[in-house]
Amino acid sequence: MKKTLIKLSIGLLLVFSSASCGDFLDVIPDNIAVIEDAFQTRESTLRFLATLYAYLPPYNGTSNPALVAGDEVFVNDNVSRTWAGRRINRGGQNVVDPALGYWGNNGTVRNLFVALRDCNILLENLDRPFNLTDSERTIWAAEAKFLKAYFHFYLMRMYGPIPVIRENIEVSSGAEAVRVKREPIDDVVNYIVEILDEAIPNLPLVIEDRALELGRGTAVAAAMLKAQVLVTAASPLFNGNTDYANFVDKEGNPLFNITSDNSKWDLASVACKEAIDIAHQAGHLLYTFPNAPLSWSDTTVRKLSVRGSITERWNEEIIWASGTSAVGGLQGLSQAKIAIGLTAENRESTQSYWGPPLHVAEQFYSENGVPINEDKDFDYGNRYAVTTAGPDHRHYVRTGFQTAKLNLNRELRYYASLGFDGGVWFGHGVTNDLNALVVEGKRGQRAGRLDETRYTQSGYWAKKLVYYQNVQQTSTNSYSIRSYPFPLMRLGDLYLLYAEALNESSGPTAAYEWIDKVRERAGLNGVLESWSAHSNNPSKPTSQEGLRQIIHDERMIELIFEGHRFWDLRRWKKSIDFLNRDIQGWNIEGDNTETYYNVITYGKHNFLNRDYLWPIAEFDIISNNNLVQNPGW
């Protein structure tokens, strides 16, 4: 019997565009030569479904743009000089070999158009396996649609208008058929929402077989993705962006609607609430650390609740996590060298160079829950001056330690998220929180610079990413680590998305509840109470503009190091403000308090308006004469 060839997709144009037209149309994916082999049985079909999840962008310390190409971390030049992310955040992106792109074959990390091809292949062939049940067929089709929506969304955030891959193109269609056009943003959004609406009713509410299926799509994850898509579509980058007034396709059709439409925020708020309702129905809650010993302070437990919302595997707050991105190495990059007995000979088991710059430390609130430059009681003008930590700071900073005022009297998430010189780092094999280990970060000390690569340039560490029971073993020069799947969606993020959408659609009043839920876990009062009592701008949360700024700040604090800030700054059109400034930190060459606590500039981020959208490689533009390049490139 003649075997049926797999259909050709848009992705193949981008992968094999160097071939001649004749050769190009003869291409069949090497790993799946025939439909019968890929979908003969339930087991082979399940393996194909698993490959779709394998296309998820990795969350690691070198290749995910949201982690390495923004402004949340700075890695010393001895390590990062050749990194693609460093090239991007210093203004070195280009069209010849775009860094960390996901479109095409030039400079891509993963070609997501190939992922879309494979999603369509699965959808077209689920009727083939003889031993696949009707229920499984329905659920697996919904999973493929969910992933198809996610991959479209990922590409849209990066590139703006993209070709929509509704179905694969037949091999017999000819070369011209695969030279597709970019579609207007509104059409892309509508298609993503359409296939999510098809998927949500057929996805499980919760994963029943947790031993085998965690990480697969659920109705909650699909509903939250819909909310993310609609919030993004309503945001300034994509909604009424007049910078793209002349951004048209080859036929002169506009790819952006430059008239702002506030009804998009109405749609977004409805989608957020629907996702929250489904999440609550599925049992999702904000994570709190369970069963803490009575001897532990409330402060320690709250800090572990903040860290655990990320590092505790599959906790009740996580809506979807990447089962293909186990966070192991990233923890070693973020772990300060704090173990007793570390020497130059036994400190190499952690890299410790994942350093948040000073502006990240300054972004967190004061202990009163307002920005430090607004707090009436915070000595903002002297924040770099040195003072001594008293006993009331013992769960945050070692008592009697001399440190910058910037490190004292801050909100709890500051201490849960950041490691710093003199800062308490609970866990790491110590179970008595009064004896918690402390970071010693000055030159020559165990966490400080002792070699040419394994040090943080800024004097801060991304403690939030490190599971609290990890231990650097001095006797074996090893790092005992518990990995976890990187969270892609969690309930705290969804609450803040809903607050944002409510504020934009109907004003501040309805939004307070959802911000305050997130703040409560961090031990903070609600926004109205906090600003009224402590801010030099007490009416700020009562206006739409003021609450917008608060929500933006809240997202950047609550979701720090989770890969959201990078995309948020873009959709808010704030990257031009945040990503054009000096990269600063403490003087890590200082070996005493006087020399260490001086602000040093280590570099500068650079961002142009063109950087809001990724460039398409020139090679791909030449290969497909129906494509147009993004503005500025």
The answer on pLDDT for 422 being more than 60 is: yes
CB 395 within 8 A of CB 540: no
pLDDT category, 104, cuts 50, 70, 90? Answer: confident
Domains (ranges, CATH) in the chain? 10-57+110-283 (1.25.40.390), 284-608 (1.25.40.390)
Residue 22 phi/psi, 5-degree rounding, is -65, -50
The answer on pLDDT for 335 being more than 50 is: yes
Question: What per-residue confidence (pLDDT) applies to 32?
Answer: 47
Length of the chain: 633
Question: What per-residue confidence (pLDDT) applies to 173?
Answer: 65
Percent of the chain with pLDDT over 90: 87
Q: What is the mean predicted confidence (pLDDT) over 80-104?
A: 94
CA angle 624, 99, 562 (to 5 degrees): 120
Q: What is the mean predicted confidence (pLDDT) over 143-167?
A: 98
Stretch among 190-199, 325-334, 440-449, 606-615 having the lowest mean pLDDT: 325-334
Beta strands, E only, 152-281: none
Q: What is the pLDDT of residues 588-616, one digit of tens each?
A: 999 999 999 999 999 999 999 999 999 99
Q: What is the pLDDT of residues 535-589, one digit of tens each?
A: 999 999 999 999 999 999 999 999 999 999 999 999 999 999 999 999 999 999 9
Q: What is the pLDDT of residues 224-244, one digit of tens each?
A: 999 999 999 999 999 999 999
The answer on pLDDT for 26 being more than 70 is: no
Q: What is the mean predicted confidence (pLDDT) over 328-353?
A: 91
List Cα–Cα distances, 239 to 13, 242, 258, 551, 631, in angstroms: 30, 9, 7, 19, 16
DSSP-derived letter for residue 494 is H
Q: In the Cβ-directed half-sphere of 528, how many Cα atoms lie within 13 Å?
A: 9
pLDDT category, 13, cuts 50, 70, 90? Answer: very low
d(CA 308, CA 103): 34
Question: What per-residue confidence (pLDDT) applies to 516?
Answer: 98
Q: Find the helix or strand (DSSP H, E) in which 320 lies.
A: strand 318-326
- In 3D space, the residue among 391, 480, 386 whose CA is nearest the CA of residue 442 turns out to be 386
d(CA 151, CA 446): 43
Question: Which residues lie below 8 Å from residue 407, measured CB to CB, with a gap of 6+?
Answer: 361, 397, 420, 422, 423
Please report where in the chains the tokens 């949340």 appear, as a residue.
72
Percent of the chain with pLDDT over 70: 93
Question: Which residues lie below 8 Å from residue 82, measured CB to CB, with a gap of 6+?
Answer: none
Question: Which residues lie below 8 Å from residue 420, measured CB to CB, with a gap of 6+?
Answer: 361, 403, 407, 439, 441, 459, 460, 461
- For residue 233, how many other CB atoms are within 10 A of its CB? 25
pLDDT category, 362, cuts 50, 70, 90? Answer: very high
Q: What is the mean predicted confidence (pLDDT) over 368-374?
A: 98
Question: What per-residue confidence (pLDDT) applies to 7?
Answer: 42
Question: What per-residue confidence (pLDDT) applies to 358?
Answer: 98
d(CA 220, CA 285): 13
pLDDT category, 109, cuts 50, 70, 90? Answer: confident
Q: What is the mean predicted confidence (pLDDT) over 89-117?
A: 90
> With 0-12 CB in 10 A as exposed, 13-18 as middle and 19+ as buried, what is 209?
exposed
The answer on pLDDT for 10 being more than 70 is: no
The answer on pLDDT for 348 being more than 70 is: yes
Q: What is the pLDDT of residues 264-289, one digit of tens each?
A: 999 999 999 999 999 999 999 999 99
d(CA 485, CA 213): 13
The answer on pLDDT for 189 being more than 90 is: yes
CB 525 within 8 A of CB 515: no
AA letter at 157:
R
